[in-house]
Amino acid sequence: MNCMKSHSDKPKYLPLANRTAYRRLEDVVGCKWSAAVLAAIGRGVARPGQLERFIPGISTKILNERLRKLVDFKLITRTEIAGKVPRTEYALTPTGGKLNAIIETIRDLDEDHNAATSA
């Protein structure tokens, strides 16, 4: 079976709205750190210092950039808590929770695949 299209076949493009959604998704998830930050927050790691310790190799600068981007895209919320020592905590939004579920599914598939290929 030939998988190549003939020249007479017209390429099928995604509608503009869908292409825009994919570009937005790529802007968020295209960075290797976004998925790690979402997964950590999804597991209950809520404060910047905790996130930095939980995610090996992430710098403070990159973590802060990713947190700002994820807040801008409404995938996480940022809450400032007043007190003697003010602190900031992050949580997944419902949309962030949906994306995190996909990320966790991909992680599980990767683990299953690695277990199957190493056996």
Say yes or no to pLDDT of 20 above 80: no
Q: Contact at 8 Å (CB) between 68 and 34?
A: no
What is the arithmetic mean of pLDDT over 24-41? Answer: 85
In the chain, % of residues over pLDDT 70: 83
Say yes or no to pLDDT of 40 above 50: yes
Q: Where are the domains of the chain?
A: 21-118
Model pLDDT for residues 70-106, shown as the tens digit of each residue? 999 999 999 999 999 999 999 999 999 999 998 889 8
Model pTM above 0.85: no
CATH fold of 21-118: Arc Repressor Mutant, subunit A (1.10.10)
Distance between CA atoms of residues 75 and 111, nearest Å: 25
